[in-house]
Amino acid sequence: MNQARLNNLTASMRTSNLDAVILNPGPTLTYLAGVEFHLMERPIVLFVAPGKDPVLVLPELELPKVDLFPYKIQAFAYGELPSEWDDAFRKAAQSLGLDGKRIGVEPRQLRLMEFGHVKAGAPEAEYPDASEVLSGLRLKKDKAEIDAMRRAVKIAQDSLEATIPLIKIGMTERELSSELVMQLLKHGSDSALPFFPIISGGPNGANPHASPTERKLQAGDLLVVDWGAAYEGYISDLTRTFAVGEVDDECAKIHKIVQEANAAGRAAGKPGVPCAAVDIATRDVIEKSGYGKYFTHRTGHGIGMEGHEEPYMRGDNMQLLEVGMAYTVEPGIYLPNRNGVRIEDNIVITEGGADCLSDMPREIRVVG
């Protein structure tokens, strides 16, 4: 499988006029090699060039991982003296004849530290953005990847269901978030969660990316829970919004509107449909209800090995959905200083349409 992925990358590089790409520790390197490295103070870079064995620069202490690669690679290891590191990168670049060539980079992942060492080894090279090549590599998920994501969804849903009975008025957002993390680990999530759960009640729920605080849950709050699990390196990303005790009529109303928008977004996805259509479907529901200005973000984003990756469900994105693409549908309404609602599900495009991996109830549920 990993050899096929490497072949796909090198074929794409040829059509994109790239002589090589460089990858530091992160999802793309793991996807290609099936080997995980830590992003740390010691640089690690994989060089991939068409028609040649990949080359890896790494610290000596990581050398045992070379034997885990599913295909032949050439390794250049360095010791603990930073003054010697550039020499290892120089040898790596020379082994592939890369100075003066086009070496593609992954801007969202490559750090300035690694880039500096690579540039020292190939100072006359060009370093174009290879995002399109690299994101396309992981864009369509195979059955094993989808199965792992489906398992990550089940772990997440089971974990929240186990947490709901523990929610009480007076509990802080941080207390609830910590409890949910414990349940995620107990139910089988990888220890590296995709993100720390967002737990936001009342006015904090009007901030889509709020961090849990010491604010205590109060009767009348809407409670936004945005959480996910990881399984074998693949993630889930879900959101449900609850009522803490009895909520006022407008809170119940906006929850119902978001629920309808979520359903419209889930129904809109199918092969050949532009990503923009998913965003338009959810946004139309909310705008027609009179709350359009309170829906302040795109409808969704791709998911897989990362919480945010291609494709993006955005109103101007005319990229066509294809079988195997996976993404979120997460419309919201956020009333400043009052309350917020978001309902989020995970979708995979299939031959016949779209498969929603998540099935936790979306109706408003009273907790506390």
User: What letter would DSSP give residue 245?
Assistant: S
Q: Establish how many alpha carbons lie within 13 A of residue 355's alpha carbon, considering only the half-sphere containing its beta carbon.
A: 18
Contacts of 42 (CB under 8 A, 6+ apart): 58, 59, 62
Res 51: pLDDT: 94
Report the mean per-residue pLDDT for the chain.
Answer: 97
Interhelix angle 275-288/249-268, rounded to 10 degrees, is: 160
Q: How far apart are the first and last CA of the chain?
A: 48
Task: Name the 3-class secondary structure at 133.
Answer: helix
Question: Do you know the residue count of the chain?
Answer: 368
Query: 142-166, pLDDT tens digit by residue?
Result: 999 999 999 999 999 999 999 999 9
Verify cis geometry, omega within 30 degrees of 0, for the bond prior to 311: yes
Average pLDDT over residues 231-245: 98
Fold topology of 2-137: Creatine Amidinohydrolase; Chain A, domain 1 (3.40.350)
Q: Quote the pTM value.
A: 0.94
pLDDT band, very low/low/confident/very high, at 107 (cuts 50, 70, 90): very high
Task: Look up residue 11 and give its amino acid.
Answer: A
Map tokens 């020292």 to a residue.
120
Q: Which position has the token pair 């917020």?
A: 340
| 31: Cβ contacts below 8 Å, ≥ 6 apart | 5, 137, 138, 305
* Contact by Cβ (8 Å): 6, 54: yes
CA nearest neighbour of 354 among 330, 328, 318: 328
Task: Tell me the DSSP string of 76-109.
Answer: EEE-S-GGGHHHHHHHHHHHTT-TTSBEEB-TTT
With b for 16 or more beta-carbon neighbours within 10 A and e for fewer, the 84-114 pattern comes to ebbebbbebbeebebeebbbbbbeebbeeeb
As beta bridge partners, residue 59 has 78
Q: Looking at the DSSP assignment, which residues form a beta bridge with residue 231?
A: 234
- Give the pLDDT confidence of 26-80 residue by residue, as tens digits: 999 999 999 999 999 999 999 999 999 999 999 999 999 999 999 999 999 999 9
Share above pLDDT 70 across residues of the chain, in percent, rounded to a whole number? 100
Q: Is the pLDDT of residue 252 over 80?
A: yes
Q: Domain coordinates of the chain in residue numbers?
A: 2-137, 143-367
User: Is the Cβ–Cβ distance between 341 and 207 less than 8 Å?
Assistant: no
Cα–Cα distance for residue pair 155/163, rounded to 1 Å: 12
Instruction: Name the CATH superfamily, with its identifier, for domain 143-367.
Output: Creatinase/methionine aminopeptidase superfamily (3.90.230.10)
**Diameter of the chain measured on Cα atoms:** 69
Q: Dig out the tokens for 241 from the structure.
A: 């919004």
CA-CA distance, 76 to 4, in Å (whole number)? Answer: 24
- 1 pLDDT higher than 80: no
Q: What distance in Å separates the CA atoms of residue 246 and residue 244, rounded to the nearest whole number?
A: 6
What angle is formed at CA 14 by the lines to CA 11 and CA 17, rounded to 5 degrees? Answer: 150
Phi (first) and psi of residue 297, to 5 degrees: -145, 170
Average pLDDT over residues 224-235: 98
Distance CA 167, CA 224 (A): 13
